[in-house]
Amino acid sequence: MSPNADRTGGHRALRILSRILLFAISLIFTCLLVFLALEALPGDAATQRLGLQATPERVAELTQQYGLDKPVLYRFVLWCAHALQGDFGTVLASGLPVADAMVGPLARTGVIFAISLVLDVCLYYLSVGMLAEDYRRVEKRYKPYEMELFVQMFYRVSEYSEGFCDVLGDMFMECVSHGNNGQFFTPIHVADLMACMGENRLKPKQSVCDSCCGSGRMLLSAVKKCAEENDGGRLFCYGSDIDLICVKMTVVNLMMNSVPGEVAWMNTLTMQHWRSYHIDLQLIAGVWLPILKITEAGDTSFVRKLENAMEDNSELKRSIQSNARATQLTFDF
């Protein structure tokens, strides 16, 4: 081996070591900043942990138990020493080890990522390859036999979505949200009941709107009701949600059932719009097939329709402005 090769290998090893050292220093500095920021927050951790049960004796006992009476730098060095051994401390709010408390959120993050990939594959095939960029992003991550599994998932979703069923919403609640953070979609039988409660009979080409559509099951129930009463006729569905995964679930559900409409990724409270998925139907060989078109921020008929509805009905606008107020719902059992 030549001296130049030895010198090149030594330089490469030195660069790797310097980057590792720089990463370690940055990590320690970041942890120290977080430690100091938490220390500067008002109140103390022991009192917050005990809540209404906080007494001077209990607070003093818990403070001593967790070493909160020690100087902050001493506690930081002690935490670093324990962290190197895999002990990241205890969550005061729950009393669980930090590592155990992180398992659930990390697992849900992984499942959310997987569902997002499945939705991208579904939209690629439903759009007849139009969303090739999203599909290639998925394809780069996985081997051919793994991509075949995504295709099989797509077939399963299409099989179980027949008859206006929402298998995606059920999967999301079962594997991700568990009903937390407002991600609890209306049970399908309740959605079907609400679709039957309207005074006016639903007619094809009428429009229905769900401004917080989740997985789109309220829209599916309305379309199912209309189809049953009008020999398969379809409503035009407007939906929106602030969660992009929910938006994609609604788009897939509507396209699986050949339902025209627009699903907007937006904040309906601020009317901030980021993207819309437009679904049109085209008759091919006697079958109505969904055609997907995507428009970006601001290019939406959904927002304009909401604004026009308010402008055209001045009485409704005055009623909302005069009667709208913040209310807190309470449930007594």
Going residue by residue through the chain (333 aa), what tens digit of pLDDT does each one get? 455 555 565 677 778 888 888 888 888 888 778 777 767 766 666 666 666 667 777 777 777 777 777 777 777 787 777 777 777 777 666 666 766 666 666 666 767 777 788 888 888 878 776 666 777 777 777 788 777 887 788 888 888 888 888 888 888 888 777 666 556 788 888 988 888 886 677 888 888 888 888 899 999 999 999 988 888 888 999 999 998 989 999 999 999 999 999 999 998 888 888 999 999 988 777 778 888 888 888 888 776 766 666 666 667 666 655 655 444 333 332
Q: What is the structure's pLDDT at 327? A: 41
Which pTM was predicted? 0.65
Would you state the pLDDT for residue 239? 92
Residue 268 near residue 211, CB atoms below 8 Å: yes
| Alpha helices, DSSP H, located in 66-142 | 72-83, 98-126, 132-141
The Cα 242–Cα 62 span in angstroms is 41
pLDDT of residue 269: 81
Q: What is the pLDDT of residue 76?
A: 79
Contact (Cβ atoms closer than 8 angstroms) between residue 262 and residue 281 = no
Give me the pLDDT at residue 49, please: 66
Q: Distance between CA 172 and CA 96 in Å, rounded?
A: 26
Task: Please report the pLDDT score of residue 277 as a whole number.
Answer: 92
